[in-house]
């Protein structure tokens, strides 16, 4: 008997560093609290966490579209939690095998480094990095060439079919998005110094890390003040995306190209592929018998994020072989 639940949450390391009005913080905090309470009640036996990276664990020396962590550590950028994740290694490896058997070529890592993309939802929803067993599933969302919506959906589909065989309470969790464009550099057109950081920037000096974080904080202040040239948030695009997930119409996203995503919603909007994968996993695990509710949405410039929560429940317990 497998039971499945779905939770998706935007992330932003600017939370607590560059905050909007207290009412906005309160509303977002309440929405996050709702997810946390539901997670606690569900008490997952394993979390499949789909999330991106921001040139902290994955670089252009070898950039996979997808990677499953068999052993994983959080680096603790922007004051996020650092330290090991509780990855059930055999299960993570079996998941990777099942994904490969489903024609989705994903990498594995026995020393996966993750950043706030993974750490923040674990901290905010699970309460700690090691509170629950978690299979971390990286989706490249910042470093072109990137997988398309369709591939993210098929990855999620493969993970969901595997998860349904476990006879456990499984939680599919996604971290990222929605529309946004924080100052994450692109390799195309980068200076030699920035290119080096994107290709081989593992373990930067404390000064380099602090300078990077300060640049992001400065960018958020300018973005909130309306004096920034960063790509604007796109609430209309975000609401349509959420409606598509609520309608369980993931296939309709396949026709949206990566260029169209960047153009409409910003270069980091590709992080929503984590949401697509988690929703596809839920669909596969439940045989499409699940319901989704968008919990909260607000474009929050201070956090450089179309900030949203979403939750889904299976209509029934899944019985399988
Ligand atoms: O690591 C960085 O510099 C990017 C930080 C960042 C900021 C806003 C929204 C995000 O999703 C995000 O990841
Ligand atoms: Fe991000």
What is the percent of the chain with per-residue pLDDT over 70, rounded to a whole number? 99
Output the average pLDDT for the chain.
97
Q: How far apart are CA 270 and CA 263, in angstroms?
A: 11
Kindly indicate whether the domain formed by 3-314 is annotated with CATH number 3.40.120.10: no
- Is the ipTM higher than 0.90? The answer is yes
Pocket lined around ligand 1, Cβ cut-off 6 Å: 11-14, 54, 176, 180, 182, 184, 216, 268, 271, 304-305
Asked if 264 contacts 178 with a C-beta cutoff of 8 angstroms, the reply is no
SS3 of 268-320: the string is CHHHHHHHHHHHHHHHHHHCCCEEEEEEEEEEEHHHCEEEEEEEEEECCCECC
In the chain, where the domains are located: 3-314
Q: What is the SS3 assignment for 199?
A: helix
Q: Please, what's the largest Cα pairwise distance for the chain?
A: 58
Q: What is the pLDDT of residue 318?
A: 73
Whether 320 has a pLDDT exceeding 70, the answer reads no
Whether 244 has a pLDDT exceeding 50, the answer reads yes
- CA of 186 relative to ligand 1 center, distance in Å: 14
CA-closest candidate to residue 139, choices 172, 162, 106, 164: 106
Active site residue 231: no
Whether 128 has a pLDDT exceeding 50, the answer reads yes
CA-closest candidate to residue 309, choices 2, 19, 27: 27
Ligand 1 atom closest to the CA of 11, numbered from 1? 11
Question: Can you tell me the mean pLDDT for 160-188?
Answer: 97
Q: What is the pLDDT of residue 198?
A: 98
Pocket test for ligand 1, best of 197, 268, 270 (most atoms within 8 A of CB): 268
Q: For tokens 């026709």, name the residue.
A: 255
Tell me the pLDDT tens digit for each residue of 277-289: 999 999 999 999 9
Q: What is the pLDDT of residue 321?
A: 46
- CA of 271 relative to ligand 1 center, distance in Å: 10
Whether 214 has a pLDDT exceeding 50, the answer reads yes
Asked if 7 contacts 282 with a C-beta cutoff of 8 angstroms, the reply is no
CA-closest candidate to residue 182, choices 216, 208, 146: 216
The dihedral of CA 82, 136, 290, 254: what is its sign?
A: positive
Tokens representing 258?
Answer: 């990566």
Centre a 10 Å sphere on the Cβ of residue 41 and count the other Cβ atoms it contains: 8
Q: What is the pLDDT of residue 176?
A: 97
Selecting among 11, 54, 116, 270, the annotated active-site residue is 116
Q: What is the pLDDT of residue 13?
A: 97
- CA of 12 relative to ligand 1 center, distance in Å: 6
Alpha helix positions (H), the chain = 22-42, 89-101, 116-121, 149-163, 192-200, 206-225, 235-246, 258-265, 272-286
Whether 257 has a pLDDT exceeding 60, the answer reads yes
Protein residue with least CA distance to atom 12, ligand 1 = 12
Active site residue 11: no
Q: What is the pLDDT of residue 316?
A: 83
Question: Can you tell me the mean pLDDT for 313-321?
Answer: 77
Alpha helix positions (H), 122-177 = 149-163
Q: Measured between alpha carbons, how far is residue 69 from residues 24, 93, 223, 319 in Å?
A: 35, 8, 34, 28
Question: Can you tell me the mean pLDDT for 230-253?
Answer: 98
């Amino acid at each position: 008997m497998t039971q499945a639940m779905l939770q998706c949450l935007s992330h932003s390391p600017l939370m607590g560093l560059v905050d909007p009005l207290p009412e906005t913080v309160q509303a977002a905090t309440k929405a996050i609290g709702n997810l946390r309470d539901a997670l606690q009640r569900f008490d997952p036996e394993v979390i499949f966490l789909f999330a991106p990276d921001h040139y902290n664990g994955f670089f252009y020396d070898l950039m996979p579209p997808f990677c499953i962590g068999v052993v994983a550590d959080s680096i603790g950028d922007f004051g996020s939690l650092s330290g090991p994740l509780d990855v059930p290694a055999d299960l993570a490896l079996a998941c990777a095998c099942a994904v490969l058997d489903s024609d989705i070529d994903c990498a594995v890592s026995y020393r996966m480094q993750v950043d706030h993309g993974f750490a923040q939802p674990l901290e905010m929803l699970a309460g700690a990095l090691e509170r629950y067993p978690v299979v971390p599933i990286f989706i490249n969302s910042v470093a072109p060439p990137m997988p398309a919506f369709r591939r993210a959906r098929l990855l999620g589909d493969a993970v969901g079919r595997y998860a349904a065989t476990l006879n456990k309470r499984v939680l599919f969790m996604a971290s990222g998005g929605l529309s946004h464009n924080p100052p994450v550099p692109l390799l195309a057109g980068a200076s030699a110094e920035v290119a080096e950081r994107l290709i081989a920037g593992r373990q930067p000096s404390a000064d380099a890390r602090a300078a990077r974080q300060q640049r992001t904080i400065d960018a958020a202040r300018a973005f909130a003040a309306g004096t920034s040239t960063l790509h604007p948030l796109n609430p209309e695009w975000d609401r349509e995306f959420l409606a598509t997930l609520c309608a369980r119409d993931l296939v309709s996203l396949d026709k949206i190209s990566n260029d169209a995503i960047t153009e409409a919603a910003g270069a980091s909007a590709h992080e929503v592929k984590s949401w697509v994968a988690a929703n596809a996993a839920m669909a596969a695990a439940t045989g499409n018998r699940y319901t989704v509710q968008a919990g909260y949405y607000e474009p929050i410039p201070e956090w450089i994020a179309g900030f949203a929560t979403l939750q889904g429940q299976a209509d029934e317990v899944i019985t399988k072989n």
